[in-house]
Amino acid sequence: MRFLHLSDLHLGKRVCEFSMLDDQRYILEQILSLLDTHPVDAVLLAGDLYDKPVPPAEAVRLLDWFLTALAERKLPVFAISGNHDSADRIAFGSHLLAESRVYMSPVFTGAPEPIPLTDEYGPVDIYLLPFLKPATVRHVWPEEPAESTQSYSDALGCVLRRCKRDPAHRSLLVAHQFVAGAAVCESEEPSVGGLDSVDVSLFEGFDYVALGHLHSPQKVGRDTARYCGTPLKYSFSEAGQQKSVTFVELGPKGSISITTEPLTPLHDLRELRGSYMELTDRRAYEGTATDDYLHITLTDEQDLPDALARLRVIYPNLMRLDYDNRRTREQQTVEGPARAEQQTPLEHFAAFYQLQNNQPLSEEQAAFCQQLIESIWKGEDDA
């Protein structure tokens, strides 16, 4: 039995205030084309279908279109809610959708029940486990000792122990959690200190674990517990990644093969570095994808007026502009309390301005601020 493993669509996401909806539709169309040339028996969607608990209408329509396209291909779909989703919204209409073999995870009320599929080797039991927090598990089983649901790992273990698995059947778990030891990138939201992590050993007994939550494709602990990663790059920490989709084939019990197929985005997300003159030299950019989403780092020693607007004439989807020069590399520190008490209001403001902008107030700015401070003091005296 062959599956397509997807996760973290983040429909409706904005990156540096750029809407990704057109890019998301483009990549979903590409995935549908891949399914036409690489047939599967079912599709797994491992959470974060949307980027926000209350997604924009355009994102809802996009997911509706994608699920409809999968249903038209007679493909069962197994989807769960992630930490970015509203579990209630994902569960809405789940009983009706199940009639079309689109299985959406319900709001968590207990251990997931298996949804069976069958092929020539027998049954495959699929378990849908939405993103869970310890408080959610404690609410369902208040009789459990507090220590058994204290951490994310404890809570998930409490749930999985209650799963009724037949060891003779092949079993597949769709889950959305942060597994300890996995690599993270900037567009994800792990908690400080890894408090939301779970141990990969909890998934023993499942033949394949289709994970969502982390954006880099990777295995965790074993080849058959995997994050497929996002279909698009959502941060510049992912600029060097090749995004892909993951195909999983379950043969007889114990036989699993995993392959990936690369995805090509409408606009790649890349980083460029150099001086303003180098990056605006026609020979440097001619024939390149200048409409890609870009992070440009300028190495000029002096800030250039309107550099962002001027660069966008050539690179219209420039998302982020930084400088790397002697000024930006200087260590900025905040004055200690003793020194701060001796500073005038203007010196306080000037220090704050330099800390925020990596450059001092100009004479004109300083004169204006001094006038503003004096007018404020005068107003207080008059009062």
Mean pLDDT computed over 73-86? 95
> pLDDT higher for 151 or 190?
151
For 325, half-sphere exposure in the C-beta direction (CA atoms, 13 angstrom radius) is 16
Q: Which of 330, 345, 374 is the last residue of a domain?
A: 330
State the sign of the Cα–Cα–Cα–Cα dihedral 250, 256, 262, 265: positive
Please tell me whether residues 244 and 276 are part of one structural domain.
Answer: no
Q: Rounded to whole angstroms, how far apart are CA atoms 244 and 216?
A: 10
Judge whether residue 380 has pLDDT over 80.
Answer: no
In the prediction, which pLDDT does 232 show?
97
Please tell me whether residues 85 and 37 are part of one structural domain.
Answer: yes
Please tell me whether residues 236 and 302 are part of one structural domain.
Answer: no
Please tell me whether residues 247 and 204 are part of one structural domain.
Answer: yes
With a CB cutoff of 8 Å and minimum separation 6, the contacts of 297 are 271, 272, 273, 321, 322, 323, 324
With a CB cutoff of 8 Å and minimum separation 6, the contacts of 183 are 214, 216, 218
Segment 247-270, tens digit of pLDDT: 999 999 989 999 999 999 999 999
Judge whether residue 334 has pLDDT over 50.
Answer: no
Mean pLDDT computed over 164-181? 91
Report whether 214 contacts 235 (CB < 8 A). Answer: no
Q: Read off the CATH number of the domain in which 103 is found.
A: 3.60.21.10
Q: Comparing 79-93, 131-145, 264-278, 304-318, which segment has the lowest mean pLDDT? A: 131-145
Residue whose C-alpha is closest to residue 63's, from 116, 6, 115: 6
In a domain, 343, yes or no: no
Q: Rounded to whole angstroms, how far apart are CA atoms 304 and 36?
A: 50
Please tell me whether residues 226 and 302 are part of one structural domain.
Answer: no
Share of the chain above pLDDT 70, in %: 90
Q: Which of 219, 247, 262 is the last residue of a domain?
A: 262
In a domain, 366, yes or no: no
Segment 97-129, tens digit of pLDDT: 998 899 999 999 999 999 999 999 999 999 999
In the prediction, which pLDDT does 192 show?
47
Please tell me whether residues 142 and 226 are part of one structural domain.
Answer: yes
Judge whether residue 177 has pLDDT over 70.
Answer: yes
Please tell me whether residues 19 and 40 are part of one structural domain.
Answer: yes
In the prediction, which pLDDT does 352 show?
75
Segment 181-237, tens digit of pLDDT: 787 776 666 554 456 788 899 999 899 999 999 999 999 988 999 999 999 999 999
Q: Which token pair is 367?
A: 């004169």
Whether the model clears a pTM of 0.85, i.e. scores above it, the answer is: no
Please tell me whether residues 294 and 181 are part of one structural domain.
Answer: no
In the prediction, which pLDDT does 186 show?
65
Q: Rounded to whole angstroms, how far apart are CA atoms 209 and 223?
A: 10
In a domain, 287, yes or no: yes
Domain count, the chain: 2
Judge whether residue 378 has pLDDT over 80.
Answer: no
With a CB cutoff of 8 Å and minimum separation 6, the contacts of 223 are 256, 258
Segment 274-303, tens digit of pLDDT: 999 999 999 999 999 999 999 999 999 888
Q: Rounded to whole angstroms, how far apart are CA atoms 99 and 101?
A: 5
Give me the chain's average pLDDT, please: 88
In a domain, 64, yes or no: yes
The bridge status of strand 2-6 relative to strand 42-46 is parallel
> Which structural domain, as residue segments, surrounds residue 275?
269-330
In the prediction, which pLDDT does 294 show?
96
Report whether 45 contacts 9 (CB < 8 A). Answer: yes
Please tell me whether residues 198 and 297 are part of one structural domain.
Answer: no
In a domain, 164, yes or no: yes
Please tell me whether residues 247 and 295 are part of one structural domain.
Answer: no
In a domain, 306, yes or no: yes
In the prediction, which pLDDT does 1 show?
94
Residue whose C-alpha is closest to residue 6's, from 60, 54, 66: 66
In a domain, 325, yes or no: yes
- Judging by beta carbons within 10 Å of its beta carbon (0-12, 13-18, 19+), is residue 338 exposed, middle or buried? exposed
Judge whether residue 361 has pLDDT over 70.
Answer: yes
In a domain, 362, yes or no: no
Q: Which of 262, 277, 299 is the last residue of a domain?
A: 262
Please tell me whether residues 153 and 297 are part of one structural domain.
Answer: no
The string of DSSP codes covering 66-125 is HHHHHHHTT--EEEE--TTS-HHHHHTTHHHHHTTTEEEPPPP-SSPPPEEEEETTEEEE
Please tell me whether residues 289 and 253 are part of one structural domain.
Answer: no
